[in-house]
Chain A
Amino acid sequence: ETGVTQTPRHLVMGMTNKKSLKCEQHLGHNAMYWYKQSAKKPLELMFVYSLEERVENNSVPSRFSPECPNSSHLFLHLHTLQPEDSALYLCASSLSVLAAYNEQFFGPGTRLTVL
């Protein structure tokens, strides 16, 4: 595997379910990101991790819970979601959060539908 991979690619869940999204980067990067992409809206940065520490939490509801066990893996744990949380969730990684090295590489995304 190369680049940034995300699983699953598609997920349908009920509002009472608990599920997790997984992201893995094979680039040796130190920073990882979660974005939400909704129709007709700009990409929204949700979380930023640098060297496995969360450095940004962009006022995201607590029903979204990120986890970064090591610099290669990033999870987004989901519970009691709402239909408006249906979106494409994109993971990205970069060498560093420092701007000079912040070329971000994106995964293909997980298309989430909340019923």
Chain B
Amino acid sequence: AQSVTQPDIHITVSEGASLELRCNYSYGATPYLFWYVQSPGQGLQLLLKYFSGDTLVQGIKGFEAEFKRSQSSFNLRKPSVHWSDAAEYFCAVEGRNTGKLIFGQGTTLQVKP
């Protein structure tokens, strides 16, 4: 069965520091992978997605993620965090042509001034 694990429930970083949020997936083939962000009181917004090709994908707001097949991972990174990045981040996987997104439990990011 498909599943997504985000090992870190809560992360705190200082403003200006680099960030890496971990995501591991379980799926029999190469899935479609997504990162979404949810600010308080808001719906989810797509940050970036991986379908195929270059394993390093660029997204909005300065985020990037790298797909590593050997590690079944799709970690999200940002070189310098801004206070406005404080939010909850969700990794999701979709089996090809199933139309269903499977989400991880989410990682709450807190940014210290």
- Give chain A's interface residues, CB within 8 Å of chain B: 4, 6, 31, 40-43, 45, 48, 50, 55-56, 90, 92, 96-100, 102-109
Contact = CB atoms under 8 A, between A and B. Distances in A.
Contacts of B90: 42-43
- For the complex of A and B, 4 pairs with smallest distance between CB atoms: A97-B99, A106-B43, A106-B44, A43-B103
B2 to A, nearest CB: 12
Interface string B18-43: 00000000000000101010000111
B43 A102 contact: no
B96 interface: yes
Interface residues on B, range: 20 to 34
A87 B95 CA distance: 26
Given A43-B90, A102-B32, A102-B94, A31 B44 contact: no
B41 A108 contact: yes
A52 to B, nearest CB: 15
Interface of B: 4, 32, 34, 36, 41-46, 49, 51, 90, 94-106
26 contacts: A6-B43, A40-B105, A42-B4, A42-B90, A42-B103, A42-B105, A43-B101, A45-B100, A48-B100, A56-B100, A90-B44, A92-B43, A98-B97, A98-B99, A99-B96, A99-B99, A100-B51, A102-B32, A102-B94, A102-B99, A103-B34, A104-B101, A106-B43, A106-B44, A108-B43, A109-B43
Contact of B99 (A4, A43, A56, A106): A56
Contacts of A56: 99-100
Nearest to B46: A103
Nearest to B100: A45
A70 B109 CA distance: 38
A99 B45 contact: no
A107 B42 CA distance: 8
B43 A41 contact: no
Given A98-B97, A104-B44, 5 more contacts: A50-B99, A99-B32, A106-B43, A109-B42, A109-B43
